[in-house]
């Protein structure tokens, strides 16, 4: 099966799992349920579920063995976007080419929808048809990536830094928490379902951290160069909010050069793995570096 076909199959599995995980909009409380579905089923790259499947695939894990992990990590990602878009945070009106949840519904419903998506993610893992040991690893990885040592901590640092000039080290630390932690968790969740020694796990951690950084640098570049229509969200917000970005600190040429360095680093990290099995992760790395939205 080609990598493109694998991605399509994994995306379809993700959509099915998410459809099954979310409550029907016909059930009460209908407004909350509709908001949850709006947040999750409105498209998106599904990068994090694909990373779960691709990491498992690298180690020969059956797709059914990571379905719950892939859906759970996407629910956490969706919850984070709902809260990130709120007026008290980034105050954005558009996400994935359509109104954000607090605009389409209301602010209170958006807060509740985010809360419900987060708790549903952990419920999915707790109920997964996997060993207790694996479920415990997944819960720990996802909780760590979501909390103060991950997305919440990174978002707090982002709020504190608005209007201030950060150093490159500060910027990288912030995004390692806000963006990178969940990407690292997605890779680790796929790896946890397989068998890898400490040296290989360390290589995949290095890959995931480089991917998280590359994802953010590309995001910063696109915020300058792409239109809102291309991005599916408001372009130019970083400059408007006086935020430090990689192009601002390194220059556009410097940011693009760093992105290419990370692309090579990711490919090097995968060099020790079987060529056919590493291809999906290698392609996700290339897509991250070259993506247009």
Domains of the chain, residue spans: 3-290
The C-alpha torsion from 11 through 17 and 21 to 26, rounded to 10°, is 80
Check if the beta carbon of residue 70 is closer than 8 Å to that of residue 13: yes
CA atoms within 13 A on the CB side of 62: 4
- Return the percentage of the chain with pLDDT > 90, whole number: 86
Full DSSP string of 232-257: TS-TTHHHHTT---HHHHH-HHHHHH
Higher pLDDT, 43 or 22: 22
Confidence of residue 188 (pLDDT cuts 50, 70, 90): very high
For residue 199, is pLDDT > 90? yes
Q: How far apart are CA 190 and CA 69, in angstroms?
A: 8
SS3 category, 95 = strand
**Structure confidence at residue 240 (pLDDT):** 65
- In the predicted structure, residue 268 carries a pLDDT above the cut 90: yes
**157 has pLDDT over 90:** yes
Structure tokens of 166?
């950060």
Task: Confirm if 85 and 219 have CB atoms less than 8 A apart.
Answer: no
pLDDT, average across residues 69-90: 96
pLDDT digits (tens, 9 = 90+) for 234-256: 767 776 677 889 999 999 999 99
Q: By CB neighbour count within 10 A (0-12 exposed, 13-18 middle, 19+ buried), where does 122 fall?
A: middle
Extended beta strands in 100-138, E state? none
State the pLDDT at residue 42.
Answer: 76
**Mean pLDDT for the stretch of residues 84-94:** 94
The model carries a pTM of: 0.96
CATH architecture of 3-290: Orthogonal Bundle (1.10)
């Amino acid at each position: 099966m080609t990598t493109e076909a694998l991605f399509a199959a994994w995306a379809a599995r993700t959509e099915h799992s998410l459809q099954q995980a979310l409550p029907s909009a016909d059930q009460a409380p209908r407004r909350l349920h509709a908001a949850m579905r709006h947040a999750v089923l409105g498209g998106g790259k599904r990068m994090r579920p694909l990373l779960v499947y691709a990491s498992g695939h690298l180690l020969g894990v059956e797709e059914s063995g990571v379905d719950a992990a892939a859906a759970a990590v996407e629910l956490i990602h969706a919850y984070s976007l709902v809260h990130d878009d709120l007026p008290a945070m980034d105050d954005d009106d558009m996400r994935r080419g359509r109104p954000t949840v607090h605009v389409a519904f209301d602010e209170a419903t958006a807060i509740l929808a985010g809360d419900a998506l987060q708790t549903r993610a952990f419920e999915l893992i707790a109920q997964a048809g996997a060993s207790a040991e694996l479920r415990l690893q997944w819960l720990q990885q996802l909780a760590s990536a979501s909390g103060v040592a991950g997305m919440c901590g990174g978002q707090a640092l982002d709020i504190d830094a608005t209007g201030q000039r950060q150093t490159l080290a500060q910027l990288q630390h912030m995004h390692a928490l806000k963006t990178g932690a969940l990407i690292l968790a997605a890779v680790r969740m796929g790896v946890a379902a397989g068998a890898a020694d400490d040296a290989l796990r360390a290589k995949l951690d290095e890959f995931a951290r480089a991917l998280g950084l590359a994802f953010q640098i590309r995001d910063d570049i696109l915020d300058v160069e792409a239109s809102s229509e291309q991005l599916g969200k408001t372009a130019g917000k970083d400059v408007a909010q006086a935020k430090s970005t990689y192009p601002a600190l390194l220059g556009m040429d410097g940011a693009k050069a760093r992105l290419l360095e990370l692309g090579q680093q990711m490919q090097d990290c995968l060099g020790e793995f079987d060529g056919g099995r590493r291809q999906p992760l290698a392609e996700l790395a290339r897509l991250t570096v070259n993506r247009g939205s």
